[in-house]
Amino acid sequence: MNQSYSFDPKSRVWSRPISTPLPYSDGDEIEDYLLTTLRSVEDVSSQSSELIAAIKDWPSEYHFSPARHNLLRFINIGPAHRVLELGCGCGAITRYLGERGAQVMAVEGNLRRAEIAAERCRDLPNVQVYCDNLVDLIMEDRFDFVTLIGVLEYAPCFVMNADPVGHVLSLV
Protein backbone atom coordinates (compact mmCIF):
# COMPACT_ATOMS: atom_id res chain seq x y z
CA MET A 1 0.00 0.00 0.00
CA ASN A 2 1.12 3.57 -0.58
CA GLN A 3 3.00 5.55 2.08
CA SER A 4 0.02 7.95 2.31
CA TYR A 5 -1.66 5.65 4.84
CA SER A 6 -0.94 5.79 8.54
CA PHE A 7 -1.72 3.19 11.19
CA ASP A 8 -3.89 4.00 14.22
CA PRO A 9 -2.92 1.52 16.97
CA LYS A 10 -6.16 2.15 18.90
CA SER A 11 -8.48 1.12 16.04
CA ARG A 12 -5.82 -1.04 14.27
CA VAL A 13 -6.90 0.57 10.99
CA TRP A 14 -4.77 2.15 8.27
CA SER A 15 -6.19 5.37 6.80
CA ARG A 16 -5.36 8.61 5.02
CA PRO A 17 -6.19 11.97 6.56
CA ILE A 18 -7.82 13.15 3.33
CA SER A 19 -9.92 10.04 2.81
CA THR A 20 -13.65 10.65 2.28
CA PRO A 21 -15.52 8.17 4.51
CA LEU A 22 -18.67 6.52 3.25
CA PRO A 23 -21.89 7.01 5.22
CA TYR A 24 -22.83 3.33 4.89
CA SER A 25 -23.79 1.78 8.23
CA ASP A 26 -25.99 -0.86 9.81
CA GLY A 27 -26.78 1.76 12.48
CA ASP A 28 -25.06 2.72 15.72
CA GLU A 29 -26.96 0.28 17.91
CA ILE A 30 -26.07 -2.70 15.74
CA GLU A 31 -22.47 -1.71 15.18
CA ASP A 32 -22.01 -0.96 18.90
CA TYR A 33 -23.32 -4.46 19.61
CA LEU A 34 -20.96 -6.05 17.09
CA LEU A 35 -17.89 -4.23 18.41
CA THR A 36 -18.78 -4.78 22.08
CA THR A 37 -19.41 -8.46 21.43
CA LEU A 38 -16.12 -8.92 19.56
CA ARG A 39 -14.22 -7.18 22.36
CA SER A 40 -15.87 -9.36 25.01
CA VAL A 41 -15.21 -12.81 23.53
CA GLU A 42 -12.00 -14.80 23.48
CA ASP A 43 -12.68 -16.61 20.22
CA VAL A 44 -13.28 -14.34 17.22
CA SER A 45 -12.67 -17.09 14.66
CA SER A 46 -15.00 -17.82 11.77
CA GLN A 47 -16.35 -20.88 13.64
CA SER A 48 -16.54 -19.23 17.09
CA SER A 49 -19.21 -20.77 19.30
CA GLU A 50 -19.14 -17.54 21.35
CA LEU A 51 -20.09 -15.48 18.31
CA ILE A 52 -22.71 -18.00 17.20
CA ALA A 53 -24.25 -17.73 20.69
CA ALA A 54 -24.28 -13.91 20.30
CA ILE A 55 -26.53 -14.05 17.23
CA LYS A 56 -29.79 -12.36 18.20
CA ASP A 57 -31.13 -10.82 14.98
CA TRP A 58 -30.49 -10.61 11.24
CA PRO A 59 -27.53 -8.17 11.40
CA SER A 60 -25.68 -10.20 14.03
CA GLU A 61 -26.38 -13.38 12.06
CA TYR A 62 -25.08 -11.72 8.89
CA HIS A 63 -21.83 -10.73 10.61
CA PHE A 64 -21.27 -13.68 12.98
CA SER A 65 -22.65 -16.73 11.16
CA PRO A 66 -20.09 -19.22 9.82
CA ALA A 67 -22.37 -19.73 6.81
CA ARG A 68 -21.11 -16.47 5.23
CA HIS A 69 -17.84 -18.14 4.37
CA ASN A 70 -19.59 -20.57 2.04
CA LEU A 71 -19.22 -17.84 -0.61
CA LEU A 72 -15.49 -18.59 -0.86
CA ARG A 73 -14.96 -22.07 0.58
CA PHE A 74 -14.81 -23.65 -2.87
CA ILE A 75 -11.82 -21.47 -3.87
CA ASN A 76 -8.43 -22.81 -2.81
CA ILE A 77 -7.12 -19.63 -1.17
CA GLY A 78 -4.14 -20.11 1.10
CA PRO A 79 -0.78 -18.84 2.36
CA ALA A 80 0.64 -18.40 -1.14
CA HIS A 81 -2.06 -15.87 -2.06
CA ARG A 82 -2.52 -12.13 -1.71
CA VAL A 83 -6.16 -11.01 -1.46
CA LEU A 84 -7.63 -7.54 -1.81
CA GLU A 85 -11.05 -7.44 -0.20
CA LEU A 86 -12.91 -4.30 -1.26
CA GLY A 87 -15.86 -3.41 0.96
CA CYS A 88 -14.87 -5.73 3.81
CA GLY A 89 -17.69 -4.48 6.04
CA CYS A 90 -17.34 -5.80 9.58
CA GLY A 91 -14.82 -8.47 8.67
CA ALA A 92 -16.69 -11.79 8.45
CA ILE A 93 -15.12 -12.74 5.11
CA THR A 94 -11.87 -10.98 6.06
CA ARG A 95 -11.56 -13.27 9.06
CA TYR A 96 -12.12 -16.37 6.96
CA LEU A 97 -9.52 -15.31 4.36
CA GLY A 98 -7.02 -14.56 7.11
CA GLU A 99 -7.60 -17.96 8.72
CA ARG A 100 -6.84 -19.57 5.38
CA GLY A 101 -3.38 -17.99 5.67
CA ALA A 102 -3.68 -15.54 2.78
CA GLN A 103 -2.10 -12.10 3.01
CA VAL A 104 -5.27 -9.97 3.17
CA MET A 105 -5.62 -6.26 2.52
CA ALA A 106 -9.19 -5.44 3.54
CA VAL A 107 -10.64 -2.06 2.56
CA GLU A 108 -13.76 -0.56 4.10
CA GLY A 109 -15.11 2.91 3.38
CA ASN A 110 -16.63 3.45 6.83
CA LEU A 111 -14.19 3.89 9.73
CA ARG A 112 -16.47 2.33 12.35
CA ARG A 113 -16.98 -0.78 10.24
CA ALA A 114 -13.24 -0.93 9.49
CA GLU A 115 -12.59 -0.86 13.24
CA ILE A 116 -15.03 -3.75 13.73
CA ALA A 117 -13.25 -5.71 10.97
CA ALA A 118 -9.88 -5.03 12.59
CA GLU A 119 -11.23 -6.28 15.93
CA ARG A 120 -12.52 -9.44 14.25
CA CYS A 121 -9.02 -10.04 12.86
CA ARG A 122 -7.09 -8.84 15.92
CA ASP A 123 -4.99 -12.03 16.19
CA LEU A 124 -4.19 -12.40 12.49
CA PRO A 125 -0.87 -10.73 11.57
CA ASN A 126 -1.48 -11.52 7.88
CA VAL A 127 -4.52 -9.18 7.75
CA GLN A 128 -4.39 -5.41 7.39
CA VAL A 129 -7.55 -3.31 7.45
CA TYR A 130 -7.71 0.02 5.59
CA CYS A 131 -10.35 2.70 5.69
CA ASP A 132 -10.73 4.37 2.32
CA ASN A 133 -13.27 4.87 -0.41
CA LEU A 134 -12.40 2.32 -3.09
CA VAL A 135 -12.58 4.99 -5.82
CA ASP A 136 -9.88 6.97 -3.96
CA LEU A 137 -7.76 3.98 -3.00
CA ILE A 138 -4.04 4.46 -3.60
CA MET A 139 -2.57 1.10 -4.40
CA GLU A 140 0.67 -0.12 -5.87
CA ASP A 141 0.36 -3.79 -4.90
CA ARG A 142 -0.74 -6.71 -7.07
CA PHE A 143 -3.14 -9.41 -5.88
CA ASP A 144 -4.07 -12.97 -6.73
CA PHE A 145 -7.72 -12.38 -5.83
CA VAL A 146 -9.90 -9.29 -5.52
CA THR A 147 -13.34 -9.53 -3.93
CA LEU A 148 -16.27 -7.14 -4.16
CA ILE A 149 -18.79 -9.01 -2.00
CA GLY A 150 -21.82 -6.79 -1.43
CA VAL A 151 -20.19 -3.81 -3.15
CA LEU A 152 -21.39 -3.47 -6.72
CA GLU A 153 -25.06 -3.20 -5.80
CA TYR A 154 -24.22 -0.09 -3.73
CA ALA A 155 -22.01 1.53 -6.36
CA PRO A 156 -24.85 3.75 -7.68
CA CYS A 157 -25.24 5.21 -4.15
CA PHE A 158 -21.59 6.06 -3.60
CA VAL A 159 -19.85 6.37 -6.97
CA MET A 160 -20.50 9.55 -8.90
CA ASN A 161 -20.19 8.31 -12.46
CA ALA A 162 -22.58 7.73 -15.36
CA ASP A 163 -21.79 3.99 -15.07
CA PRO A 164 -20.92 3.44 -11.38
CA VAL A 165 -20.70 -0.35 -11.59
CA GLY A 166 -18.56 -0.21 -14.74
CA HIS A 167 -16.38 2.44 -13.14
CA VAL A 168 -15.75 0.30 -10.04
CA LEU A 169 -14.94 -2.72 -12.20
CA SER A 170 -12.52 -0.67 -14.30
CA LEU A 171 -10.72 0.45 -11.12
CA VAL A 172 -10.35 -3.13 -9.97
What is the rounded CA–CA span in Å between residue 43 and residue 49? 8
CA dist 136 to 19, 58, 105, Å? 7, 31, 15
CA dist 22 to 55, 80, 111, 125, 133, Å? 26, 32, 8, 26, 7
Is this prediction's pTM over 0.75? Answer: yes
Residues 36-54 have a mean pLDDT of 98
Percent with pLDDT over 90 in the chain: 78
Residues 37-61 have a mean pLDDT of 98
Helix (H, G, I), strand (E, B) or coil at 93: helix
- What pLDDT, in 10s, does the model give residues 122-149? 999 999 999 998 888 888 889 999 999 9
Does residue 42 carry a pLDDT above 80?
Answer: yes
| Average pLDDT of the residues of the chain | 93
